[in-house]
A = this chain, B = another copy of it.
């Protein structure tokens, strides 16, 4: 009842511990009959193998680490939570476990982190979240140690990516393009844009999608484009800059939901009705997006699935399958809610 070991199972099934090990790990050498006997014994004893022992003697640790940085205040945290949920589910399905590690944004003591991950924990893989997934130092540290990395929405790419691990993302260009077109289809022409963090590839791709959809290579009224950093706070001044212009845009498309919410907030303070006098759109579909007033039109990305895929990739890879795409691109979808409407 308390703690069955592989020895107990072996005794009950009347085989050697090695055979039990083989059966439990799905290794080939084992007759169907033996297999059944072992399984039955394990079940009856309520046996669960010890992770530590497996990790110590074998080559797998059945551990995956999800590493994040940044604070709670940051709405991006929600994104992490959702990713994590997906990863946990994939882990559970594969007999793995998810460790959550955190590194302070300021600290760049990556070598200690890497050492812990590799030597102490011996994790089978690491899931890296922006901006960590773009830090060359951390990446190369991990790569040198032979750790499988999966990078969420990575920025650095090309040959480097091959070396630095797999990645998951959505087609940010298309997402922004489609959202801009949605606004245009509603009749908007003066569509303001708030940029994302300049160091993040997704930001540039989203902006490109917006520009191509709206101007199609034509002249670009730069006053419609304001800088932002993907945070709520950075969206505030950007929104103000856009809304205080003599000829106010009829719609504002922010590079993510956090900043779109900032637009909502500024519009509210300035007494501009949304979507009556201003349409607002974002990207990400944060949980909060459906809760704000009015509910935000945005682009949904399958964050949970992305987290699950990341974990699954590590699990499969450790198990021997060498799926080595450079990056997996997930489908996104437009979520039209109440913050957008045709201009008055």
Chain A residues close to B by CB (< 8 Å): 2-4, 46-53, 55-56, 61, 66, 72-73, 75, 77-78, 80-82, 84-85, 88-89, 92, 97-102, 115-116, 118-122, 145, 232, 258, 261-262, 264-265, 268, 287-288, 291-294, 304
Task: Point out the residue from B46, B50, B75, B294 that lies within 8 Å of A268, measured CB to CB.
Answer: B294
The reply to whether B115 and A48 contact each other, CB–CB distance below 8 Å, is yes
Residue of B nearest to A84 (CB): B100
| A72-B304, A78-B77 known; A268+B293 contact, CB < 8 A | yes
Shortest 7 CB-CB distances between A and B: which pairs?
A: A52-B55, A48-B119, A268-B293, A52-B52, A52-B56, A88-B102, A48-B120
The reply to whether B51 and A53 contact each other, CB–CB distance below 8 Å, is no
The CA-CA distance from A304 to B210 in the complex, in Å, is: 38
| A102-B92, A291-B232 known; A121+B2 contact, CB < 8 A | no
The reply to whether A72 and B287 contact each other, CB–CB distance below 8 Å, is yes
- Please name 17 pairs of A and B residues whose Cβ atoms are closer than 8 Å in the assembled complex, sorted by A: A48-B116, A50-B120, A50-B122, A52-B52, A52-B56, A53-B56, A56-B56, A72-B304, A73-B287, A78-B78, A89-B102, A98-B99, A100-B100, A258-B291, A262-B291, A264-B293, A265-B293
The CA-CA distance from A169 to B162 in the complex, in Å, is: 48
Query: Which residues of B sit under 8 angstroms from A101, Cβ to Cβ?
Result: 88, 92, 97-98
Task: Point out the residue from B56, B77, B294 that lies within 8 Å of A81, measured CB to CB.
Answer: B77
Query: Which residues of B sit under 8 angstroms from A293, Cβ to Cβ?
Result: 264-265, 268, 292-293
The reply to whether B77 and A80 contact each other, CB–CB distance below 8 Å, is no
Query: Which residues of B sit under 8 angstroms from A49, Cβ to Cβ?
Result: 119-120
Least CB distance, A54 to chain B, in whole angstroms: 8
Question: Assuming A4-B119, A48-B120, A293-B293, what are 12 further A-B pairs, CB within 8 angstroms?
Answer: A3-B118, A48-B116, A50-B120, A50-B122, A53-B56, A72-B81, A85-B102, A88-B101, A97-B121, A98-B100, A265-B293, A268-B294
Least CB distance, A45 to chain B, in whole angstroms: 11
Residue of B nearest to A49 (CB): B120
Residue of B nearest to A258 (CB): B291
Query: Which residues of B sit under 8 angstroms from A75, Cβ to Cβ?
Result: 287-288, 291
| A232-B291, A291-B232 known; A46+B115 contact, CB < 8 A | yes
Least CB distance, A48 to chain B, in whole angstroms: 4
Query: Which residues of B sit under 8 angstroms from A100, Cβ to Cβ?
Result: 66, 84, 88, 98-100
Query: Which residues of B sit under 8 angstroms from A92, Cβ to Cβ?
Result: 101-102
Query: Which residues of B sit under 8 angstroms from A304, Cβ to Cβ?
Result: 72
The reply to whether B119 and A52 contact each other, CB–CB distance below 8 Å, is no
